Amino acid sequence: MYKTILLSIDLNAESSWHRALPTALDLARVYKARLHVVAVVPNLGTALVGSFFPKDFEKEAMEAAKAELKKFEAGLPDDVDIMTHLAHGTIYEEIIHAADTFGADLIVMASHRPELKDYLLGPNAARVVRHAKQSVVVVRD
């Protein structure tokens, strides 16, 4: 049923993969699917916001994220076909773009329990669920 699964993680939040990674691995094993693990470094947004950060902040953030992704990758099992990727931009847009680019049939991601502020803005998981062409499994803590 699924040939390509995308797992979205936040390298700075173990809660984003603590339960979602085992779920994605189980699904990849059952369906003998390739698993793409994607981490997104958020952009700084407007030039006004970016002006508050040091000149090379985004470049350094990407380098730090690459190093963290390498550490994360080292802990992954070798019985599943796994590829890791690092993206930069608006989180939910990059997740959807990666899923489309890799031809994912399914997106797996974690989400925290909704709070009042989430009903006004909406978390990234809600945006992915609303806008992705693929099926989305949202794993709750």
What is the full DSSP assignment across 19-41?
A: THHHHHHHHHHHHT-EEEEEEEE
pLDDT tens figures, 88-122: 999 999 999 999 999 999 999 998 765 655 554 45
Q: What is the pLDDT of residues 63-97, one digit of tens each?
A: 999 999 999 999 999 999 999 999 999 999 999 99
- C-alpha–C-alpha distance, residues 86 and 65, integer Å: 8
Query: Which residues lie closer than 8 Å to 40 by C-beta, 6 or more apart?
Result: 8, 10, 86, 87, 88, 89, 91, 94, 95
- d(CA 22, CA 10) in angstroms, rounded, equals 15
CA distance 2 to 59: 35
CATH of domain 4-140: 3.40.50.620
How much is the pTM? Answer: 0.87
Domain segments of the chain: what residues? 4-140
Banded model confidence at residue 49, pLDDT cuts 50, 70, 90: low
pLDDT at 140: 87
> Is the pLDDT assigned to residue 56 strictly greater than 60?
yes
State phi, psi for 127 to the nearest 5 degrees.
Answer: -70, -40
